[in-house]
Structures are given as C-alpha cells and as structure tokens.
C-alpha cells in the first residue's frame, strides 16, 4: 500500500466528502450536505488522502456524552466510516481510526462509541478493542382505542425537552453533547421520520415513528404500558397501520452499540452491560 496522509477534514474537502459519502451510503446530496453542515466538518471529520491528494477514507467523531448515574464522561460517536472500494481490505481504516482516536483522546474524550452498520462488523470492531455494551429491543405493541388520546405536531424544542426527560429516567445513557443534539430532529425528518406529541391520556409524551411498507416503527418514545398502547391506537387511526413495532430496552434484545474506552489502567472495566440507553435514531 502506498503512502497516505492522515489529517482532519477541511471545509474545502466537501466535494470529495460528498463523492465518497454517496458512493458508500447512497444518501441524497441534499441530506448529506445538511448533515455535513450540522456536524461541522473541521471539528469532527478525519480523512486519509492518497499521494495525489484524493480522499480515499473518512470518518466523523461527533462529540457525545456517556452519563453514568450523575457523572458525565465526554466521548466521541464514530459515524460515517467509509473507504473507496478500490482501497478496502488494506488496513487503511484501522490506520485512520488510530489517528482519529489519538486526536479525540488528546481533546479529553474518555471513549469512542459506535453502532456497526451490519452484524458482520461487530467482530471487526471487537478486534480493534471495542466491546458490545448497548443492546436494543424490539416488540409488537398491543393497540388499544382511547378516544380521548390525540396526536399533534411535535416541534423541535418539544422533542429535545421530552427526550431529556427520557434520558433522565435511565441511570446510564449515551447521547450527543448538547451542541449536537438538535441535528437529530431535522435529519430524521429529511429521511422520512415523523414526530408527534401525545395528549389526553393517562400519560403525555412523544413518539418518533418511521413508516415501512408493512408497518409503523416507533423509533423512540417516553411512553410505556397502557399509555403507549393508547397512543398507538391514535397512531393507527391516523395512519391506517394496524401493526406497530417499538424499539427500545424491552422485547427481543439484539446487539446495538459498542464502546472503546480510553482507560489509564488495563484493570479498569466498563461499568455497565445491558442497562444503558442508547438510541441515536440515525439511519
């Protein structure tokens, strides 16, 4: 493999980033540009460049927080890891990852966290030192009819307020840092998600849902039990879907997220296993 230059991405690299992003992920240019503006390329982006100055591999490390009880540990969320097809399977991503991780550690990050895009990647990241510590459940919701429950539009500010309440109900949780939390709402809207406030039931809250050909999927909610069943009844009336699935911390559990801690001692251990809440809703 030839010589490559590892460095932080710059705003003038945006066309190369767009080209690689669309090749790797297939997102529209509009959505990609929106995301790149929101995450501040020069703060979060890292790239490997060929001797000819071509961007051949990239990743983004978005500032995030791991909340353990009342303590907050600064972290980085690893996102949009991509390498051009002709440069894959050459160890280039590992080299870029090592460079980006050292930069994050120097800035005070205590860990890197990521969500593997496919099940096969769990074993790859495990060889790099990551461990699976976040799990996600899936279950079918029993729909009940409560005429007093109504759904209204959820505004960005309402979503952030309701989500903060949700995170506060968990002893351990992971989320973007405050500066980056607002990006989730508009980006999810662009990729097809809908947000609702739920009123009139035994509990008020919010729903973030995504529609597939066969069913509605609740990506996130702070409603539980009968309140969630009633909310799904109102959702079924509004969308004409009779099957609604919810993802979260109950139901059939599957591996979801992994963490690579920057511990000072090999004897230290990650202080949690399956009780941490992490649902970034980035698809």
pLDDT, position 208 = 95
Cα distance from N-terminal residue to C-terminal residue, the chain: 32
Taking residues 235-264, report their average pLDDT: 87
pLDDT, position 280 = 82
The fold for domain 5-114 equals Aminopeptidase (3.40.630)
Range in 104-118, 223-237, 263-277 with the lowest mean pLDDT: 263-277
pLDDT, position 276 = 77
| Helices (H), ranges, the chain | 14-25, 29-39, 41-44, 92-106, 121-127, 156-168, 184-190, 225-239
Taking residues 65-69, report their average pLDDT: 89
- Cα–Cα distances in angstroms (integers) from residue 97 to residues 109, 180, 204, 263, in the given order: 14, 21, 43, 17
pLDDT, position 31 = 87
The token duo for 112 is 């890197």
What architecture (CATH level 2) is domain 136-248?
3-Layer(aba) Sandwich (3.40)
pLDDT, position 102 = 96
pLDDT, position 270 = 58
Taking residues 263-277, report their average pLDDT: 59
pLDDT, position 180 = 93
Residues 146-198: pLDDT tens digits?
A: 999 999 999 999 999 999 989 888 888 999 999 999 888 988 888 889 999 99
User: Does the pLDDT value for residue 275 go beyond 90?
Assistant: no
3-state secondary structure of 65: strand
What residue segments make up the domains of the chain, in order of their start?
5-114, 136-248
DSSP states along 167-212: HHTSSEEEEE-TTTGGGHHHHHHHTTEEEEEEESSSS-EEEEEEE-
How many percent of the chain have pLDDT more than 70? Answer: 94
pLDDT, position 250 = 80
How many percent of the chain have pLDDT more than 90? Answer: 68
pLDDT-based confidence at residue 71 (cuts at 50, 70, 90)? confident
Residue whose C-alpha is closest to residue 143's, from 225, 246, 230: 230
Q: 5-114 and 136-248 share one CATH topology?
A: yes
Residues 131-140: pLDDT tens digits?
A: 998 998 899 9
């Amino acid at each position: 493999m030839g010589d490559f230059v590892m460095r932080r991405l710059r705003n003038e690299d945006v066309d190369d980033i767009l080209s690689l992003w669309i090749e790797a992920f297939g997102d529209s240019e509009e959505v990609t540009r929106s995301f790149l503006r929101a995450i501040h390329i020069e703060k979060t982006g890292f790239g490997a460049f060929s001797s000819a100055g071509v961007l051949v591999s990239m990743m983004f490390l978005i500032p995030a927080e791991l909340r353990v009880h009342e303590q907050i540990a600064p972290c980085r969320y690893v996102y949009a890891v991509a390498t051009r097809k002709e440069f894959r399977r050459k160890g280039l991503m590992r080299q870029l990852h090592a460079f980006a991780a050292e930069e994050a550690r120097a800035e005070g990050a205590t860990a890197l966290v990521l969500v593997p895009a496919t099940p096969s990647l769990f074993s790859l990241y495990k060889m790099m030192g990551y461990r699976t510590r976040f799990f996600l459940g899936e279950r079918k919701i029993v729909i009940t009819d409560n005429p007093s429950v109504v759904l209204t539009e959820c505004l960005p500010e309402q979503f952030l307020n309701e989500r903060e309440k949700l995170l506060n109900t968990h002893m351990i949780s992971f989320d973007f840092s405050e500066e980056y939390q607002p990006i989730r709402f508009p980006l999810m809207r662009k990729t097809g998600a809908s947000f609702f406030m739920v009123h009139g039931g035994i509990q008020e809250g919010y729903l973030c849902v995504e529609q597939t050909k066969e069913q509605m999927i609740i990506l996130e909610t702070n409603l539980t039990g009968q309140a969630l069943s009633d909310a799904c009844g109102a959702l079924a009336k509004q969308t004409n879907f009779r099957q609604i699935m919810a993802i979260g911390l109950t139901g059939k559990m599957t591996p979801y997220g992994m963490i690579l801690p920057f511990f000072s001692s090999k004897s230290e251990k990650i202080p949690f296993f399956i009780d941490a809440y992490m649902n970034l809703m980035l698809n």
